[in-house]
Structure 1
Amino acid sequence: MDKTVIDTALVSACETRIVNAWPAPTTLVVDQWVVRFANGYSGRANSASSLREDGDMDETTLAFVEGLYRQAGLPPRIRFTPLVAESARRRFAERGYRIETASFGMVAELDPNLHPPAPGMLTTAQAEDAWIDGVCAHQTGAKRNREHLAAIVSGVRVPAAFATLLHEGRPAAYAMSVAERGMAEIGAVIVDEALRGKGLGKQMMLGLMGWAAAQGCSQAYLQVDQSNGLAFEMYKRLGFRTVYAYETRILDT
């Protein structure tokens, strides 16, 4: 995407809310950067992100941030969003940060009349044990760690819906949404692999869009891996548009 046509105000609105929607157990603010630590569970919660346009980081600050991650036993990560200054991008690249993942930030407009609550979707205001266990059961690698997921979701302090979608009376999909100041993130969308292709992901998304609209939100936003073409196309059909692209870069040391 051409940075000159990116709505950086909207990018900033999403990025600042993401910190609260997916809270890391330890969060530091270093200049205009938020530096997050979550035991290695998810790149987003274990990386540094600029919260302001043209966010820069000089050599001294970068070395300090890298030291914080190494002290925590984690590799340094930087999220290359449109809020990062070109000078900082060059500095990170020259230092050897490689692309770990690439994602899109997407936004959809909400209308209570078009997004009613979904039948078969159960929600709780806090992440209960059954929800955490269900999410972990359908994950792989580090994301199967129940303790680390619980440490993140238990830190949500703004209105939230932890959703379970039933299919033939049994849990078939999981997701969450967090509403803050007129915008709601939708994330952690997981569908039982044995039940994919039945439209359950779409049903879950519509249900949480309805929940967000009922909270008074006018927009929903999400992040999707650029390699996940099926999810990306589904989100587009649901009215989400790509607002920005970003990379998460990692330093192998």
Structure 2
Amino acid sequence: MKAQDTDEIGLVLECERRIVNAWPSPATLLIGDWVVRFASGYSGRANSASPLKPGAQLDETTLELIEELYRSDGLDPCIRLTPLVGEATRAAVLARGYRVKDASFGMIVPLEGLQPSEEPELQIEARPSADWIAGVAARQSGVKTHVGNLAAIVEKVRLPAAFATWLVAGEPVAFGMSVAERGMAEIGGIVVDPGHRGQGLGRRIVKGLMGWARAMGCDSAYLQVDQTNAVAIGLYRSLGFRQLYAYETRILDIAA
């Protein structure tokens, strides 16, 4: 592995370890070099097994254990195949019939030199209010409309956090969040009311969260985005984010 590749894998590891704390699941198990998380099916990250060490492997017995843990919780077994997964385990997951649920990019941006700006329309709270949770859930689809399951995740955040709301004429129309840990900040939960899209509010709320992260002493910000979301990817690139890695979230249908 080249030195530059080693540096990149180190950054992937730093992001992946922090994601566990930035988006905490109600139930979490550490099994070998893997973190196995359960959140009643709300979001892929919070309901999947993820490697926390370069070259992390799962033997057949441990993989079967993880599958049984998910099935006993009424969930499809779910594995995130990031660049940290060992090749033998990647091959084993594919051979067992795990199918792609979604594919995402991890992106990162340096924050050095960023000057936080005051935006009177941007309201930031240190804890997620009931209004913030309800506002985010109301503008999602599918399982992500479940207020209780979202609350069970965001209310467990224990690190410095920003729960952001963008107001237009006093009406909350866009939301996002950031969690700071040891010089890096995760940005996520960006949603804009359908009636206010195309007005640059997503950009402004992400910039506001980047400014908050810099004010918290962070040197970089990172996020994860669906590979098919060309609009969001274009927005993040225009703000200086670059692709750090790609990964797949794969599930084994519960009847398999």
User: Which bracket does the TM-score occupy, shorter chain normalised?
Assistant: over 0.9
Deviation at residue 117 of structure 1 after TM alignment:
3.9
Deviations 1:165-221 (A, max 9, x none): 012221110000000000000000000111100000000000000000000000000
Report 1:58-137 matches (<5 A).
58-111=59-112, 113-137=114-138
C-alpha separation between the residues in 2 aligned to 1:8 and 1:108? 16
Identity of aligned residues (%): 55
Residues matched between the structures, number: 251
Residue of structure 1 equivalent to 2:139: 138
Shift of 1:98: 0.7
Per-residue deviation at 1:11? Answer: 0.1
SS of the residue 2:195 aligns to: helix
Q: What is the one-letter code of the residue matched to 1:192?
A: D
Determine if contact 1:184/1:212 at 8 Å carries over to the other structure: yes
Q: Structure 1 length as normaliser, TM-score? A: 0.97
- Alpha-carbon distance, 1:6 to partner: 7.3
Equivalent residue of 1:101, what SS?
strand
User: Which residue does the alignment assign to 1:53?
Assistant: 54
Deviation for aligned residue 1:139: 1.1
Q: Extract unaligned runs of 5+ from structure 2.
A: none
TM-score by length of 2: 0.95
Residue type matched to 2:60 in 1? Answer: E
Are 1:105 and 1:244, in contact at CA under 8 Å, matched by a contact in 2? yes
CA contact (8 A) 1:112 1:210 kept: no
The alignment partner of 2:43 has SS state of coil
The letter for the 2-side match of 1:250 is I
C-alpha distance in structure 2 between counterparts of 1:20 and 1:45, whole Å = 11
State the superposition RMSD in angstroms.
1.3
Secondary structure, aligned partner of 2:250 = strand
What CA distance in whole angstroms lies between the structure 2 residues aligned with 1:225 and 1:194?
22
Q: Could you tell me which amino acid in structure 2 is paired with residue 82 of structure 1?
A: P
Q: Distance in 2 between matches of 1:213 and 1:112?
A: 9
